[in-house]
Structure 1
């Protein structure tokens, strides 16, 4: 009986120990889950390590030293960097789509408005080749016989400007539909013979610089909270992207404005490239990223942009009176205003400095700066399209 009681007590003791261990393990599991939940909570500004303290007017919703997995997943959560990430990430995909679209739209025909530029091309065109090609390509219609006679007589310029407005039917009124169709056909026949699209690399360099800047900025805002080392690398990448965008923005206007003046073309493009490289090298200095250098950073990048006023003034002097020059200059002024306003907002930290804590999630200066940068780059894209069309039609 005694042995049986002893065994019973041992069994009870084992059960108690078992229950205690399960209870202990349960408490430990809950503790780990609670710790993970608390560990990846957003924190306030005063809780941040020194390397993450940049804007004292944004008071909360910070990520601080999270593991890389949680940092990457935070792209889909709400914090004070969410819109900083997505404003430039969306901008990156916008410019990627524009690059693909532009690559698919290399012109091989011209429209009716381009006929006014043909005399400039015809002066330098191979007229024998043009004559034979036109005689081969023109349809053999009775109403076009006079056009073929004009071409055979080398009256090409008169053909384009005197013959095309004459009616192409036997009626007593001008058949506008037929007239426009013939002019379209002639434009499409003549264009490939006398016009070949100029090189696109300066334009693609700008698009590449814009995509690099936008993607680098987006990645920087996503990953910088991981650690001080990662933050150091990401900020340098971000500054390099800004310098690349500003430098490559000069390439289309400088190259297409001065492609017939190699000395000035090389001078301006070389100068802005060297200035961009120098800016990137300066940005590698550790002191460059401190909050105290915020105004200096903005001023340096703003100075790079303002240096573009010199080639713009030179372009106006050389091509005064040509409408494309005024169109592109208007786009460039608008781009400069958008970039300048963005730099001003970034440096002054408006509007969050007026109401600290009210713009932590949305509406603070860095987000406005991002939107203005994308708008400025998009404006410059349209200026680039005008440059391409101008030089495709005008040549040198």
Structure 2
């Protein structure tokens, strides 16, 4: 055998010495050649370990044979050993079996290790390649490919993100799809409002009422954007329809906070000059109507049903706005235009979104940009800006002690302070 005899001279000498003491050394050599042939099919690191095992085995076999030969001094015993092939035959078979077992076990173990390493590396590489492929290609689907709960606008044909994990949804911020405009138009205002608005509010410098209304305005101005941003970013999360409904409820909660807490400064300023009992009744009535709208909005499913949940608070705002226009109850005259735009633009945007205009007229043409939901988002941003401008004017107007001609308040903080 070329591999064993050429690899180590000591093993070659031991193999030759072993053939002197056993008449069936040819069979041993055949086993060695067989083991060597198996070794040729395996990496070099495996052959070194196998050769070491062969050297140890050959050495122990030579010692056993030499000891057996030295004990047989009687010619009759030697002749019997020579004439009777059975003892050497049995020893030779045992040696051959032992070698086969050692070589076979080592080679089988090495082969199993190599197969396991290759299978593990191939499986890990395939799984990692699948993960890379998932995020490498921004695969966008058609409306018909989406789950049923995400098929809410049949006039938007393409640009849908597939169902994704949390990290897949976050990664969708970095490529264009049909929710990109919706995410950006309500994500950027969060940063802008938190950076600029707090420094413009009076907070506690004009009493507890001013501080309370300042908090109402800040929370009401930022809450719809947070809820809408989270909803549109994770609406295709791979957690099923139940999680989608929770996200939709979060979006509706943000709108409700804007319609309730965000409008409290406007309600308070509009009835600022009414008697104190009527002032409290107006705020209490608006709060009750707002909570009724919240309960309805949490269980609403269709776009029209969700929008009609805010009709009672909207009608209350229209009533006090009429009183304000007539100069009966109070409010800054310079804020009147912004108050009209605040509700008119928001209502128009809601109608555009519910009617699916313009994609109903040109289906498939505005899938990524300028569809009804994009337009509604931009109109809502304009409406909240008008609310912000009106609130700043109303808070400044309420700080003037001479705004109400009948029983003018001494300070802004002393009027309705028990709120």
Aligning the two structures, in what range does the TM-score lie when normalised by the shorter sequence?
A: 0.5 to 0.7
Map Cα deviations across residues 136-189 of structure 1 (whole Å, 9 max, x no partner).
xxxxxxxxxxxxxxxxxxxxxxxxxxxxxxxxxxxxxxxxxxxxxxxxxxxxxx
Q: Residue 197 of structure 2 aligns to a residue in which SS? A: helix
* TM-score under structure 1 length normalisation: 0.67
Partner of 1:57: 155
Residue among 310, 313, 316 paired with 2:322: 313
Hey, what's the Cα distance between the residues in 2 that align with 1:51 and 1:337? 30
Q: Deviations over 1:106-142 (max 9, x none)?
A: 889xxxxxxxxxxxxxxxxxxxxxxxxxxxxxxxxxx
Shift of 1:205: 0.4
Shift of the 23–61 alpha-carbon distance from structure 1 to 2, 3 Å rule, reads: farther
Superposition pairs for residues 245-256 of structure 1, below 5 Å? 245-256=258-269
Structure-2 change in CA distance of 1:208 and 1:220 (3 Å):
same
Residues 373-382 or 80-89, more deviating? 80-89
Query: Which residue number in structure 2 is paired with residue 259 of structure 1?
Result: 272
Show the counterpart of 1:284.
298
Matched, 1:368 2:375: yes
1:28/1:210 CA distance change after superposition, 3 Å: same
Deviations 1:5-53, CA, capped at 9 Å, x for gaps:
3233312443596887777666545542453355553332222222222
2:351 paired residue number: 344
Match of 2:84 in 1: none
Aligned equivalents of 2:193, 2:199: Cα separation in 1: 10
Q: 2:165 aligns with which of 67, 70, 73?
A: 67
Post-superposition offset of 1:379: 1.0
Q: Name the SS for the 1:225 alignment partner.
A: coil
3-state DSSP class of the match of 1:14?
coil
**Whole-Å Cα distance in 1 between the matches of residues 132 and 143 of structure 2?**
19
**Match for residue 36 of structure 1?**
131
Residue 144 of structure 2, aligned match among 42, 46, 70 = 46
1:97 alignment counterpart: 195
| Cα shift at 1:337 | 2.1
Q: Alpha-carbon deviations, 1:57-105, whole Å to 9, x = none?
A: 2223323332222223333333222221221111122222333221479
Residue in 1 that maps onto 2:36: 8
Contact 1:223 1:230 in 2 (8 A): no
Q: Do the aligned residues in 2 keep the contact of 1:45 with 1:58 (CA within 8 Å)?
A: yes
Distance 1:328 1:334 in 2: 10
Q: 1:260 to 1:73 in 2, by over 3 A?
A: same
Give me the TM-score of the superposition, normalised by structure 2: 0.64
On the 8 A contact 2:217/2:391 being kept in 1, the answer is no
Change (3 A) 1:280 1:197: closer
Count of equivalent residues? 302
Distance 1:377 1:76, change over 3 A: same
Please tell me whether residue 298 in structure 1 is matched to residue 331 in structure 2. Answer: no
**Separation in 1, partners of 2:210, 2:121:** 70
**Pairwise mapping of residues 122-161 of structure 1 onto structure 2 (< 5 A)?**
none
- SS of the residue 1:318 aligns to: coil
Measure how far apart 1:365 and its partner are.
Answer: 1.6
Query: Taking structure 1 as reference, are residues 198 and 212 closer, same or farther at Cα in structure 2, changes over 3 Å only?
Result: closer
Give ranges in structure 2 of 5+ residues lacking alignment: 2-29, 44-109, 409-419
Asked if the contact 1:250–1:272 (Cα under 8 Å) also holds between the matched residues in 2, the reply is no
Q: Which has the larger radius of gyration?
A: 2
Matched, 1:214 2:225: yes
5+ long unaligned stretches in structure 1: 109-195
